[in-house]
Structure 1
């Protein structure tokens, strides 16, 4: 499979909350070499991957924006299922639950609840959004995305700009997309090594904190009205990411063992 096709698959996947780009890189077998090359600013071999990713993000982003516009509650609960199930891979590397883990989880839960804001609305118009927030969203989501098990799109939900990014893709709001893209580049090249080192050093508490953020921010995806079939759609999203996160463990474990050796 060439890098362009892998990039398209990657782009389509990472739009979903709960889907980790770093895990996709592991499954594709390019994670370790890619990190080394990015550290050396050797990006030429990955330009087809980047191009494919952009195509995939636009395809998937436009589809979800259209679904949000026509089927708001159904799309929201599907994404909520994906988001909540992503707690599984986030907590996978954690040690046995202790008081410190509980406190960090509760702290993340409270912060995520308030940062998530009110439930995401119908995508009929886009509110004015700060370019600084877009930049921060790009930086944090792209840097987090490369860490296996951490879903970059979930960061956007925590920041309350996930729907704004989808709408910008759908309506081709170039200014927003360019600012977000610049932030993404900064995140990949400047923060990835820093975040990766911090994550490796404080993996357990960060994972509990991030799990709390995810659960708390999921209120942004609550349906406006409850219908019986909503639970089924939620279950589909949840099971999709739950199964995916289970399959991703094998390559992640192999990499961890390789690093230990």
Structure 2
């Protein structure tokens, strides 16, 4: 339960990979095998704790977004940009192909990012189809180490919508997103994992470009010098955390060899 709460708090932050957390907890490989067999009973306490953590941190960030929009956005922007480190960590040295997909992702992310986001207001509506798609893609991506699921929501432009839905307990939106998340975990995780393993470098560079391009959605409405410090804190938080991924991966590999 405690691990689940920690996981829930972490994955709300853009740039924080759920797969990396699972590696650190030492449950990644067994969890994938169990999910493939639809054996979820051992993970129900983890799931319960994760939901508590997501709602608690979602409420917190929604309140911060409402009262301190620029400070919260620039902090999340630092988290988001720093997440490029774990995304590109398994890649080979940048080559022409990698450069192409990085630029392509940058252009796609920039075009999808839209205007700087703020916590949506009650009169705004978000497509249920988009919410379900966000749930499917973010949950499936979250399981892959190094790929931050919440960053997918920013790329899709619905991160603030999810925060608002949590804050206001918009049950229809949350249920739609939840159904999509379950579908993503059980239907797409194996497919995405296989695709990622086969085209790791291409996908990683493209996703890094998406992150860079979509980060404009977190630009502050007005610049103040102290925002640089807040950006640096968010950046450092994810940068240091992502460094744990390599250590955890090495431990798993050493255990397998033994």
Classify the TM-score, shorter chain.
over 0.9
Hey, what does 1:217 align to over in structure 2?
A: 214
> 1:54-111 deviations in whole A, cap 9, x for unaligned?
0000000000000000000000000000000000000000001100000000000000
1:62 to 53, 59, 64: 59
Contact 2:62 2:119 survives alignment (8 Å):
no
Do residues 199 (structure 1) and 196 (structure 2) align?
A: yes
RMSD: 1.3
Q: Which runs of 5+ in 2 are unaligned?
A: none
Give the CA deviation at 1:122: 4.1
Give the CA deviation at 1:256: 4.6
Residue 258 and residue 110 in structure 1: after superposition, are their counterparts in 2 closer, same or farther (change >3 A)?
farther
Query: Which of structure 1's runs of 4+ aligned residues deviate more than 6 A?
Result: none
Once residues 197 and 213 of structure 2 are traced to their aligned partners in structure 1, the CA distance between those partners, rounded to angstroms, is: 24
2:92 to 81, 90, 95: 95
Aligned length: 258
TM-score (norm 2): 0.97
Give the CA deviation at 1:123: 4.2
Once residues 76 and 259 of structure 1 are traced to their aligned partners in structure 2, the CA distance between those partners, rounded to angstroms, is: 41
1:149 to 146, 153, 158: 146
Contact 1:110 1:213 survives alignment (8 Å):
yes
Hey, what does 1:83 align to over in structure 2?
A: 80
Hey, what does 2:185 align to over in structure 1?
A: 188
Give the CA deviation at 1:260: 7.7
Do residues 105 (structure 1) and 110 (structure 2) align?
A: no
1:1-261 equivalence runs, <5 A = 4-125=1-122, 127-256=124-253
Contact 2:102 2:206 survives alignment (8 Å):
yes
Q: Which runs of 5+ in 1 are unaligned?
A: none
Contact 1:131 1:176 survives alignment (8 Å):
yes
Once residues 222 and 153 of structure 2 are traced to their aligned partners in structure 1, the CA distance between those partners, rounded to angstroms, is: 24
